[in-house]
Amino acid sequence: GQNIDQPTEMTATEGAIVQINCTYQTSGFNGLFWYQQHAGEAPTFLSYNVLDGLEEKGRFSSFLSRSKGYSYLLLKELQMKDSASYLCAVMDSNYQLIWGAGTKLIIKP
């Protein structure tokens, strides 16, 4: 079966760095997405990786290793507004998105 694994919850301190991991087993691979979802709101797009390596976008970076079935989202200089759930999703060979359950990130002052 297809599976996306990510930690349920993480806690970090304002101003610090946090890495949220995502491992996947899917039927084929056509890209990996990260979305941010604040409580009670809709998910919003953060990043897309289809090739191995690191994609940097401001304070957020996303890494992909296709051979290991692994990705991480790196958040630097954490701010209180970064408290949210972070969703990992993989597009399979049928171009369907398979979603992880999300990682709730709690930022403490």
Partner 1 sequence: IAGITQAPTSQILAAGRRMTLRCTQDMRHNAMYWYRQDLGLGLRLIHYSNTAGTTGKGEVPDGYSVSRANTDDFPLTLASAVPSQTSVYFCASTGGQTGELFFGEGSRLTVL
| Cα–Cα separations (whole angstroms), residue 68 to 14, 24, 33, 78, 105 | 31, 9, 16, 27, 24
101 binds partner 1, rule: CB under 8 A: yes
Q: Which stretch binds partner 1 (CB under 8 A): 9-17, 35-43, 59-67, 74-82?
A: 35-43
73 binds partner 1 (CB under 8 A): no
Q: Which of 94, 91, 59, 95 is nearest to 74 (CA)?
A: 59
Among 20, 75, 82, 102, which residue sits at the site for partner 1 (rule: CB under 8 A)?
102
- Is residue 91 a contact point for partner 1 (CB under 8 A)? yes
Residue 3, φ and ψ in degrees, nearest 5:
-150, 140
List 89, 103, 105, 107, residue binding partner 1 (CB under 8 A): 89
